[in-house]
Chains A and B, each alone.
Chain A
Amino acid sequence: MAATLTKSRVDWTGIVFAVVLTIVIVVPLLVVGTWAFTNVWRYPSVIPQEFGLRFWNQTLARADVWSSISMSLTLSFTVTALSALICLPAAYAFARLDFPGKNILFFSFLAGHAFPKFGLLVAIAGIFLQLNLIGSFWGVVLIQLVGTLLFMIWIPVAAFQAVDRRMEEAARDVGASPLRVFWSITLPQAGPTIAAAILLSFVGTFYETEGAWLIGAPQVRTLPVLMISFINNQPVIQYGAVLSVLLWVPSFIALLFARKVVNSGSFARGFGG
């Protein structure tokens, strides 16, 4: 009876939260989406006078948009590949092997998150200035690589540790080689979480603005950096709106694939929750 009563009660608190959050979170993004598909929208009309794709053609005809898309993709692929190459073996080592100073080395990756980020970037830029890395592709790669280290080690470590060791031992007992065990037992179990970490790393790099702006600009112009100049100097609102929609594509893919990892407690615990 009590359960029935509880079930039939209207969740007013939830409704209030849902309505307020929808207005605050969703409406601003819907407005940007609407601008992207608008040909004419003059004040004080509440809805656009003319919908259309005219500004998509104009935006996609711009050389600076294509060069920044290609720069962003090249940077993100390079940083993600490098970070997977150096972090995944390290994550496996932290999860499975024993070596001197393991704990202190593991926690050393927190250092990058223990300082105000832009202050740290300025300190790094001071060193890059002496090394002639300011305004260079590899300077931006290095800055963004540092940003991915914590995720690309901590999340895969958790994934490797969550693998059922008894299954691995059972496979070894029936004669499977270590490589075969890794390929057939360890990877299928740890793989999805590692894939989510790689995806988060790619998306994080794709949207990284501060390092790319401080170290790379104006020679290395990524999509977010181009977006800053569109916001500051571009009177045509639709250019920024179309670029926003284009920019959001990787995030949308990440949203589809990484929600499980983000919703799990381990993600919040990674931030100290």
Chain B
Amino acid sequence: MTVSDQIGSATPVRRRPFGLLLVATPVLLVAWLVIWPIISAVIQTVWVPTPDGGKTVSLASYSYFFSDGYSLSNLSMTLWTTGVCAILLLVVCLPIALYLRFSNSKIAAYVQGLAIFPMFVPSIILSFAFIRVLGPNGTADLLLNSVGLPKIRSPYLTPWGPVIGLVWDNIPLTVLILLSGLGNVSNQAVEAARDVGAGKIALLWHIILPRISNSILVAISFAVLGIFSAFTLPYILGPAAPEMMGPFMQRTFRELLQPNTAITQAVITFGFCIIFGLFYVRSVAKNRTP
């Protein structure tokens, strides 16, 4: 049952404008602070002022972005980070979710608690912790030194810094979304496959993955939307140049004082993520059963 059915069926048939009145303020806020800025950003970057005081349609700010080497290297670093994080998240979280779904042991509760725990750790504390553990002279170096091994080459301030931080940060929701999808895999289906001799790999490939493919795509979409324009972790843990789109936009807006250029960069991030955004909204709307 879709949420539309749920909402429709759970309510009495009274049709009163009173409901509209109650929802008006948050809806207007969304219209003013989400929908309008997006439309306005597109208009502002395309409908530009001319020297004679008029306005004309121009894609100059976009052609500048796509011809500027630094902007392009920032974009490619963002795409690389997002892709690597999405793959790593799947590789890390799918086994955890599978274990949690099919295990009855007491350890599973501890594992689930740990997997969800990063949700309660703000990115800023994580960044600090990461520097203290993997940064120069951090805990990892201390431990290696104590057993006579050489220091690590710290990922701090390299492209791998944000990757590690972003994966850590996104583990809880990815595990929860995958686990929720695994709830749709019935024990009977798994037992039936086992009865006819399916091994673990066959079970995963033919029974489990087809049933959770939508959840996998939702988890990836959610991660991509969050990572593509992430700010705090790339700003603190990443290299100064090239930088990810989040710090790039912030610097362009606040330090270079070029709001129009920053807004162009924002619209470009929207463009790259639009498929994931649409898919995410469609899936949430379809699957949500309050």
Contacts and interface: CB of A to CB of B under 8 A. Distances in A.
B154 to A, nearest CB: 14
Interface stretch (B18-26, B47-55, B83-91): B18-26
A161 B12 CA distance: 12
Given A118-B229, A129-B259, A271-B173, A265 B183 contact: yes
Contact of A118 (B40, B110, B116, B246): B246
B131 interface: yes
Contacts of B130: 28
Interface string A229-273: 001100001001100100110011011000100110111111111
Nearest to B134: A28
B271 to A, nearest CB: 10
A27 B111 contact: no
A171 interface: no
B162 to A, nearest CB: 13
B225 A97 contact: no
Interface stretch (A7-15, A59-67, A178-186): A7-15
Interface stretch (B63-71, B190-198, B274-282): B274-282
A76 interface: no
A43 B142 contact: yes
Chain A, interface size category, equals 35 or more
A150 to B, nearest CB: 9
SS class, residues of chain B in contact with chain A: helix
Given A116-B228, A213-B250, A127 B36 contact: yes
Given A98-B15, A267-B176, A269-B180, A11 B226 contact: no
Contact of B283 (A112, A232, A272): A272
B270 A13 contact: no
Interface in A63-110: 86-87, 89-90, 92-103, 105-110
Contact of B29 (A22, A95, A119, A149): A149
B263 interface: yes
A123 B290 contact: no
A176 interface: no
Nearest to A22: B114
A269 B287 contact: yes
A105 B250 CA distance: 31
A98 B16 contact: yes
A195 interface: no
7 contacts: A29-B121, A46-B146, A98-B15, A115-B38, A116-B245, A119-B245, A143-B33
Interface of B: 3-4, 6-8, 10-20, 22-23, 25-27, 29-31, 33-38, 40-41, 44, 95-96, 99, 103, 105, 107-108, 110-112, 114-133, 137-139, 141-143, 145-146, 168, 173, 176-181, 183, 215, 218-219, 221-222, 225-226, 228-232, 235-236, 245-246, 249-250, 253-254, 259-260, 262-263, 265-267, 269-270, 273, 277-278, 280-281, 283-285, 287-290
CB-based closest 3 A-B pairs: A273-B180, A14-B107, A99-B19
Interface of A: 11, 13-15, 17-18, 21-22, 24-29, 31-32, 35, 43-46, 86-87, 89-90, 92-103, 105-120, 122-127, 129, 142-143, 145-146, 149, 153-154, 157-158, 161-162, 207, 209-210, 213-214, 217, 224, 227-228, 231-232, 237, 240-241, 244, 247-248, 251-252, 254-255, 259, 262-263, 265-273
